[in-house]
Structure 1
Amino acid sequence: MYTLGISAYFHDSAACLLKDDYIVAAVQEERFTRKKNDESFPLNSILYCLSEAKITLNQVAYIVFYEKPFLKFERLLDTYLTFAPVGFVSFVKAMPVWLKDKLFLKKSLIKQFKSIDGNWNPKTNKLLFTTHHQSHAASAFYPSPFNKAIVLTADGVGEWTTTSVAIGIGNRIEPIKEINFPHSIGLLYSAFTYYLGFKVNCDEYKVMGLAPYGEPLYTDLIFRYLVDLKDDGSFRLCMQYFNYCSGLTMTSSRFNQLFGQPPRQAGAEISQFYMDMASSIQAATEKIMLMLTSALHREYQIDDLCMAGGVALNCVVNGKILKQSGFKRIWIQPAAGDAGGALGAAYAVYYGYSADARKDTGRGDKMQNALLGPSFSNDEIREFLIENGFSFEELSTEKLNEKVAACLADGKVVGYFRGRMEFGPRALGARSILADPRNAAMQSVLNQKIKFRESFRPFAPAVLEEHAAKYFEWPGSSPYMLFVTTVKQRFWLSSNGEEHTLKGFDKIKIHRSVIPAVTHIDYTSRLQTVNSHGNTGFYNLLQAFYKLTGCPCLINTSFNRMDEPIVNTPRQAIACFMQTGMDILVLEDFLLRK
């Protein structure tokens, strides 16, 4: 049985195709359209999923949309009526979009599906809708390696729910508690994202990266005035300080008065005050999530935790939950945001209509290392390179790994394009930019000449899993780059007290460990572990680099420039390669040099 899940029209549209409970394909629409977080109907994503399975849309038993638009519209109307007459401008802006497209979504979807396949019939090929948090919970539990787990979803807002807890057992998920709009940890974090001059629903990870440059000086104010936090981790926000219910901004004038500064203008210099604000909201979020997860572990005495929703992409929070909450094992959906809702919607309906027991893959989770997108054969790439007049070397895999490892050790930056593209926001060794983490200058080189982004942004290490415990305070695997941990102290370098005299972004100048380019200013790293059962090609390259240098890790960052989606095709990879300071490009078995 084929089940197609889609997310669209609100944020980061995507499609996922299941055959029974096996994931055939999953991909985000932005990778085709080149529009970051594209929210349009995922036409290209659906066509790719069908082509990967070699089927027509008419052969899909169920198509599932990841949330219920009427419930979302009900929340929108209820909110405007509650705050009326305040919010009229926002109401006038929102209504035409809803009345034209979103409110009558089912009719619009049927029209789109018929344009894809004229034989598709909604009477025989069912179109279904799950709730937003049902989709997230299903995406977290069903692909996980656990047979019984607490399932926690935390994000901005779905229809009404902002935080939900369920228990997953076997092939069923039972909801047990929730927190509803407008009280939202995701929207709280987004409010500070807005205040710091970054893009909401896009740049929250920048706040996380900025936080170590500041001090949590305002955390007490957050809990005194903005958030009423209970012992069980439940919370309420004081809405006088926020504007997202009725206005066109996230924070109100009272918020500005409380902290004594206006919101930072996008592109303006980031002063120490805004660094301290980033540190404060990060600390507050960690406290809320730790209280919530610790209380859940005490109450239900279940040792496994699954997580999804945008808040689950906060890797610093995740690392602290694993170490301090009491849960022994945590599995987080690698596409934890709305794109993953497409996967969860499909799983929710498959197990909702099937009595099948969940199948054990024998290799942990069902995500196939998130390598669920398009790939390109050597024949396709060779033809493309010849037609466009590119010079290249075609090498055996072993020779390719040796040459690339030598280039990396020589200080070169490598664009790496091999195998199926990753699903979710992280590049995991299929659409990656790679460099030597021992080179202290690499953080600056990658940020300024490759990614064209803010200088403070840290980079993550991809490390051979069998060597991870040697370098990092980490007990096992972290294949999806979703946990932050500490570099082991024996690899720290002495700073001779210099770092205590530096403030703000000057702290970047300190070389903190033997792998300085992936050691953040607080001695942490966002860790990806790589084993031979996952992305074998990437694993073998890491082995070649380790054999050559004695270092078992590489810098791994996404193959894109700032504000662009990760590359999907060889043409996009070459365009990014030519427009940046990368030195080497790998396209499957082909190597190109500048």
Structure 2
Amino acid sequence: MTAGNVVLGLCSYTHDSAAALLVDNVLVGFAEEERLTGDKHTAAFPERAVNWLLDTAGVDPHSVGLVAYNFDGRRYLDALAATEMYAGRDTTRDRAQPRAESFRKVHDRFGSRMADLRDRFRRARVVPVLHHRAHGLYSFASSSYDAAAVLVVDSLGEVQTTTLGSGRRLAGGGCRTTIVEDIADPASLGYAYGAVTEHLGWRRGDEEGTVMALAALGDPTRFRALLREAIPITDGGFSLDPRWFPLRVLAHDYPRVSAGFIAATCPARDPSAQVEAVHADLAAALQERTEQVMVHLARRVRSVTGLRLLCLGGGVAANCVAVGKIVEAGIFDEVHVPPAAGDSGTAIGAALAASLDNTRHLATGVTGRCYLGPAYPRLVLAENPRPGLTAHRPAAPAKHVAMKLAEGHTVGVFSGNLEAGPRALGNRSILASPLLPDVVERLNDTVKFREPFRPFAPVVLASAMADYFTLPQPAPYMSIASGVTDLTRERIPAIVHVNGTARVQTVTADANPFLTEVLTEFAALTGHPVLINTSLNVKGKPICGTPDMALDCLTESGLDALMLEGWWVSKC
């Protein structure tokens, strides 16, 4: 195998480290490092993910011809041009020079990162890829669309925070993605959402979903005017008012909300403090403004591209309620969000970009795939794999799981290839019956150990989706909040959040035969092909990517049992 046929894509040194591998322009696989090490959002070089990919492909590091990195650090210097302007304004003067120095420091750090990659892969050419190009190309390539608008919204990629463009598949296997318009820092929706998340006492870059859930309990009117002033909508997109969200400095000791913001809202909440009405109201106003901006951006990209399909990417695309608002608005015929819309997925996007530039062909094996990581099909367990646990192999695993769920058990599932992205999609899941009284409280209190207001997502057979949900399109990656039908409200209210929505996953036999069989068997027992599906982990830990991590989850939580690669593991 020639070196040019092997392309390694990397997200590394920042957060959410991950790796993807193309061989002969076909995606071999993708894995997030946290799932293999247990270190959530790790910034370390994804050594275990890379080793698994190379072993799977049967190649060694010397066979890698291209290493594609998910940032082009040279572009951080673009931020320096505005330093004099910011220094001349009262609202940004104090941060103008620290901002410039921080962007220069990240640029310099980029050079050492590239040197590290060249040292690790001595026969490879190391190629930096513009961050938003990596996001956009992965989002488009993972869809089935021939042509689509592409909208990427995150916190920061070099100096871009939002890009509007398009993707087109070309005759002969080519592809063209174009950025038509962009919005640069300091206007950043991801920055604003992360800033308020941190102010409300949750981890920025990790727990924005908690704030989104909390928003449903609040009243946005209390802080609506403030958020509209702080995040004004413009003809071309939006901006941030530095009186409320100070100019970004790429250093931890610069607060992201101003003293004026604190005075107008509430003091910063300690993570251990009780959640109060003021916190819910602030979350509600933030979420409402985020939805308004995202719908506005969707209308804008529809206008500048003229295309009727949309691909979303970037961290803000994980805001399923905002995505649901875009779908409800009817701006596009269909909306696609890839399974790994955040930064980890740019490992795939970077590999695609480098390969496309090298071969003029778009790599295959990306479209419609989410189960891309390690699997353990030959796993053998002892009768007592851990103290207090017993294991055996039932003759009909899916039927066994369905029966236990119908009886009220909470069951972990570890089966097949590891999912890509933050949502458990049936291969690393915790399943429960939505028909049980107090199931949400039980899961939050004794299994997930998280806030009581956090909802749980449903998974449904695609063929039965219309009976339970109002969403007018499939949702295979649990990325869109949907309205629900009367049947759902009456028979399975446990899956409906306070705002009347559910972040639904639709499943087909082609995509996930085991989960489809579980749902079919559960429907035969209960009449409903719907289950609660949450990730196989507890709060603060990543989704379990290895059998040992899954067994740890079983022993350390209120899970009743685990179906682990065909082994039924239960507590004695």
TM-score, length of structure 1 as denominator length: 0.88
The answer on whether the counterparts of 2:148 and 2:308 sit within 8 Å (CA) in structure 1 is yes
Q: How far, CA to CA, are the matches of 1:384 and 1:244 in structure 2? A: 59
Matches within 5 A, 1:267-346: 267-346=272-351
Aligned partner of 1:432 in structure 2 is: 429
Task: After TM superposition, give the deviation of residue 248 of structure 1 in Å.
Answer: 2.1
Q: Which residue among 445, 450, 454 is the counterpart of 1:453?
A: 450
2:79 partner letter: R
How far did residue 61 of structure 1 move? 2.6
Structure 1 residues 138 and 177: CA distance shift in structure 2, 3 A? same
1:175 counterpart residue number? 179
The answer to whether residue 82 in structure 2 is matched with residue 86 in structure 1 is: no
CA deviation vs aligned residue, 1:416-472 (integer Å, no higher than 9, x gap): 111011111110000111100111311111111011111111000011110011111
Other structure's SS at 2:328 match: helix
Choose the corresponding residue for 2:47, options 38, 43, 47. Answer: 43
- SS of the residue corresponding to residue 94 of structure 2 reads coil
Query: Contact (CA 8 Å) 2:20, 2:347: kept in 1 or not?
Result: yes
Alignment of structure 1 residues 168-247 onto 2, 5 Å: 168-170=167-169, 171-218=175-222, 220-222=224-226, 224-232=228-236, 234-243=237-246, 245-246=248-249
Q: Take 1:388 and 1:73, find their aligned partners in 2: how far apart are those partners?
A: 56
3-state SS, counterpart of residue 182 of structure 1:
coil
The residue aligned with 2:459 is 462
Q: Which residue of 2 aligns with 1:587?
A: 564
Once residues 383 and 97 of structure 1 are traced to their aligned partners in structure 2, the CA distance between those partners, rounded to angstroms, is 52
Name the SS for the 1:135 alignment partner: helix
Q: Distance in 1 between matches of 2:211 and 2:84?
A: 29
Counterparts of 1:182 and 1:310, CA distance in 2 = 16
Q: Report percent identity of matched pairs.
A: 32
Secondary structure of 1:145 counterpart: coil
CA gap 1:281/1:27 in 2 versus in 1, 3 angstroms? same
1:523 aligns with 2:500: yes
CA contact (8 A) 2:220 2:288 kept: yes
Structure 1, residues 466-492: CA drift from partner, whole Å, max 9, x if none? Answer: 001111102231110000011102442
Partner SS state of residue 557, structure 1: strand
- Over 3 Å counting, the alpha-carbon distance change for 1:320 and 1:92 in structure 2 is closer
Aligned residues: CA RMSD: 2.6
Residues 187-242 of structure 1: CA deviation (Å, up to 9, x unaligned):
1111221221111111111111111101111454235521221245x111111212
Give the unaligned 5+ runs of structure 2. 170-174
In 2: Cα distance, 1:329 partner to 1:136 partner: 19
Counterpart residue identity of residue 158, structure 1: G
Q: What pairs with 1:377-396 in structure 2 (closer than 5 Å)?
A: 377-378=377-378, 380-382=379-381, 391-396=390-395
SS at match of 1:254: helix
Deviation at 1:59, TM superposition (A): 2.1
Using the size of structure 2 for normalisation, the TM-score is 0.91
The equivalent of 2:117 in structure 1 is: 109
1:53 is matched by which residue type in structure 2? A
Q: 1:219 to 1:292 in 2, by over 3 A?
A: farther
Mapped to 1, the partners of 2:213 and 2:512 lie a distance apart of: 27
CA contact (8 A) 2:375 2:417 kept: yes
| Counterpart contact for 2:77–2:104, Cα < 8 Å | no
Aligned counterparts of 1:96 and 1:138: Cα–Cα separation in 2 = 27
SS in structure 2 at match of 1:438: coil
Specify whether residues 40 and 23 from structure 1 end up closer, same or farther in structure 2 by C-alpha distance, changes over 3 A only. same
Q: Which amino acid aligns with 1:347?
A: L
User: What is the CA distance between 1:244 and its match in structure 2?
Assistant: 5.3
1:92 to 1:177, Cα distance in 2 relative to 1, 3 A: closer
C-alpha displacement of 1:265: 1.9
Q: Which whole-Å deviations, capped at 9, do the CAs of 1:489-519 have from their partners, x for residues lacking one? A: 2442xxxxxxxxxxxxxxxxxxxx4212211
CA 1:355 to 1:343, structure 2 compared with 1: closer, same or farther past 3 Å? same
Cα deviation, residue 81, structure 1 = 10
Q: CA deviation at 1:375?
A: 0.6
* 1:134 aligned partner, one-letter code: R
Q: What secondary structure is seen at the aligned counterpart in 2 of 1:217?
A: helix
Distance of 1:254 and 1:323 partners within structure 2: 35
Q: Structure 1: which 5+ residue stretches go unaligned?
A: 114-119, 493-512
Query: CA–CA distance in 1 between the matches of 2:409 and 2:337?
Result: 33
- Give the match's secondary structure for 2:458: strand
Instruction: Give the distance between the partners of 2:562 and 2:323, measured in 1 at CA.
Output: 33
